[in-house]
Amino acid sequence: MAEILKVEGLNKTFGSGHLAVEALKGIDLTVNAGDLVALLGPSGSGKTTLLLSVSLILDPTGGKIWLDGETIYDHGWKEVDIRQLRLTKVGFIFQSRNLIPFLTALENVLLPLDLLGFERDEALRRAMELLKYMEIDERAHYLPALMSGGEQQRVAIARALASAPKLVLADEPTGALDSVRGMKVMEMLKKIARENRTAVICVTHDERMIEGFDYIYRLKDGQISLSDNHG
């Protein structure tokens, strides 16, 4: 199995002195290509902090991060192009979806392709291909406001897949959806992992949504453990 993400002894502290809060305490985690990983835990347990750290958005305090075999962080960021790595190797899916409201579904998916320098015809072909893969191509020319929450989330997933990332990170992707639409979104994430051999890490509070996941990790007070009911 190709190792896509490895985290070793990862720490994150907010504040200093008597106000310091340890959000992550020596996190160790390895995720391989095609792995479907769930992160569970109560509010404030460190789930989102971990996701933001491995997505190269948040600065850790200590530890090591390897992404697709490359050392990215070793008690400080290595001399790598963080912006380019985020753009090409990491796809991020937010609970709030973060679609640009005045752009159509198609135009939202085209954005990262434009940033990657795709020729227009190729970008259009790939964007439509991704919307079709997410079973939302019939809404390609709709604005987000004219789509349901589940449809918007599928557009957000298509956008996250635009660069064919090795790692997809989803932060409560079903949190704003009802159970039926939520399950549909989770099925899409499973499809991505199984068919594309993409490593997928999903933060969720709803254990009903993670049936069929390969690994279930639980975070509590900044520490991580592998759940017994995985596989």
> Rounded distance, CA 88 to CA 229, Å?
33
140-182 confidence digits (pLDDT tens): 999 999 999 889 999 999 999 999 999 999 998 887 778 888 8
| Residue 229 confidence (pLDDT) | 54
**What average pLDDT is seen over the chain?**
91
| Residue 40 confidence (pLDDT) | 92
Give me the residue spans of the domains in the chain: 35-57+78-226
78-103 confidence digits (pLDDT tens): 988 888 898 899 999 887 778 999 99
Domain 35-57+78-226 part of CATH 3.40.50.300: yes
Residue 70 confidence (pLDDT) above 90: yes
Give 216's strand partners. 38
> Rounded distance, CA 54 to CA 77, Å?
12
pTM above the 0.85 mark? yes
Residue 6 confidence (pLDDT) above 90: yes
The residue behind tokens 């991060």 is 65
| Residue 160 confidence (pLDDT) | 93
CB 5 within 8 A of CB 29: yes
> Higher pLDDT residue, 123 or 43?
123
Q: Which amino acid is at 78?
A: K
